[in-house]
Homo-oligomer: A and B are copies of this chain.
Amino acid sequence: MVPASDPVMTRSGVREGEVPFAVDPGDRDDARLAFIGHLESPWRERGSCPRNMREARERSQDGSFRARIDLPFRPALDGLAPGGYAWLLTWLSQARRDLALQMPRHATVARGTFSLRSPVRPNPIGLHLVRLVSIDGDSGTLVLDALDVLDGTPLLDIKPYLPSVDHAPDDLS
């Protein structure tokens, strides 16, 4: 998945300092997912995609951002409030899954995958806090304030954002 022109890439597609897992998580079948829809964004290539939701919001004037919910799952949108915030869980299907230590962009030392928010992880599930600008349950369309994922990214879940459980207690004190 790393471009062949990457100057520090070794032959196996792993950058210097990066370490793969002893097993490939992509070979496992411990549980199975159902895609409930997909996301629309102006980002078509990873090089142009914002790296997180903060950067995505700064660039939100660059395009439109929508979730399209597949027909069978639309009734489950009932009760979601426009204007509020929600978590989206996505399946980052273009990310490799086999790196234990990886080299973030602009970093000089490789770090453990679980200490990073990189899409490269054993289960490439993205976690994104978005504002629900509008919700049309009939067409299954949610307009979002911004997105930091590639156009077409599959959607796994929508959860309401609850500061009472989603903030560290220290933040609230």
Hey, which bits of chain A sit against chain B, CB under 8 A? 19, 21-23, 25-26, 28-36, 52-54, 57, 71-73, 75-81, 85-87, 89, 91, 93, 97, 100-101, 111-117, 121-123, 125, 127, 129, 131, 154, 156-171
- Chain A: interface secondary structure? mixed
A98 to chain B, nearest CB (A): 10
A75, closest chain B residue (CB)? B100
State the number of copies, please: 2
20 new A-B contacts at CB < 8 Å, known A34-B123, A117-B160, A123-B156: A23-B72, A26-B32, A28-B34, A33-B33, A33-B123, A36-B123, A52-B164, A54-B164, A76-B101, A78-B112, A78-B115, A79-B111, A79-B116, A89-B127, A114-B158, A114-B159, A121-B157, A122-B156, A125-B125, A167-B171
